[in-house]
Structure 1
Amino acid sequence: MNGVEHLAIVAAGLGAGVLTSTVGVASLISFPALIALGIPPVVANASNTIGLLPGALSGSFGYRRELREVSRPTTIAVVLTCAIGAIGGAVLLLALPPGVFAAAAPWLILFTCLIVGVQPWISRWLRSRHDEPQATRTTMTPATTFFAALTGVYGGYFGAGAGVMMMAVLGLGLDLELRVVNALKTLSLLAANLVASVIFVFIADLNPTAIVLLAIGSVAGGYVGSHIGRRLPSGLLRVLIVVAGITAAVLMLR
């Protein structure tokens, strides 16, 4: 790779870092950029996962104020669930043909975009079916845990749109402000990517240059994105998540 291509990867990492902390479709920038430079898909996917770790880390640090609003047991449950799921996803990436799981990804993203968009109405409808006022949901239910684990599997395998999926799962399963859900989503994806990265380092073929360049860009982008995500109104953030998810799905279907 030449100097221009190096700068392109740093820029892709910067944009991906911003999207990690806001709308959760980071890989839709960085992964295609690596493919365009001739890096094989599985190598690009594994290298992309590792390269974006600093972005998720800096994004989680930027959201530290929001994360304090979530109880420690809930935070630990979300992180562990996603991390365990990511183990299965990383194994699938290395064991299955590249196109198997990716073929379903656009439809999964579209479905979760729908959930994110209608989540306020669904929550109100569920509460209206009970005669007595329901307590605020601040802990993980078995259903929320199950779908968070599936999202972790997806994040370990491919990852594009995993943030949108996690926003939908946590937004439906927990009664938290959207900015807090966004922070918890960023931390959970950090956990999933960290576990997958450890597996990839020991087993997968990697492109070290791409990893370093993505890391340089993503560490700044993740921190900047956390400040952008904090200031976006909930309604606008929800719209941006849906638009980003639909765009990601359409690009993946092409």
Structure 2
Amino acid sequence: MREDHPAVTATAAGGHRRRGATSAASSSSINPFLLVIIVAVVAALVVTAVITTGILLSTQLLRRQGGTDPGDHHHPPANAAGENLQPSPHTQKHTAHRQPRAGPCVGVRPGRLTAWQPVYSVVIDAGATATRAHVFYFLRCCLDNTFQLKKEKMFDVEGSIMFYTGDNNSKQIRRLLVPLLRRARGVVPTKYVRHTPLLFRATPSLSLLPSAQATKIIHRARGILSRSPFLVKRDHVTIMTGQDIAADLWLAANFLTG
């Protein structure tokens, strides 16, 4: 019976160990193509989350306002379904000869008056590398106070407010936001501007700065936006938290999957 030489046995064992380590390393490495797909999917979810959040926040604010007409300083409650509506000059009348398309008011009986009120909202997404403004155009159904999204336009500029940490950062923040405000102003009709809510959501990365710097940046941004012709309240300008992002991604995933 042949005995293996100790040196040969040690060499063979070393070879097996090297092959095992190589195979383990290759199995633990990530396919670059798969990594690109994962990054693309996450980026798509984040973008969809921002748009979905803008739509949800916009409809919540508009519903809270009651969808009042431009120039109407009184805020009468929305008529319940089945009541006779008194449409304002800015609503569209649909009768038996002209029924509305598929939307929140599907099922309205022929001959009954249905009022559709145009409403707008603006959402500014202050990201870590770019700043975007989304302008949403809805039709509000006066029967049940629901909203049908008709159009969405997006404008962006390079730059982020999180880099403007100096004491004299007002001019820099103004140069970042004013072009977006002007372009959004060009989309919203004049008679609806002062009734159009504007929301500003800053990247959670802003929270990584010292508290005093982050607060100063938000305060400056709120001051600039408050001087715009849009409807801006104090709680409209905030920093998004990690919980906000997680909830938005969950909503975006549900939105993408139907």
TM-score, normalised via structure 1 length: 0.27
Which has the higher relative contact order, 1 or 2, with Cα contacts under 8 A spaced 6 or more apart?
1
Give the number of the structure whose alpha-carbon radius of gyration is greater: 2
Judging by fraction of residues, say which structure has more helix.
1
Judging by fraction of residues, say which structure has more strand.
2
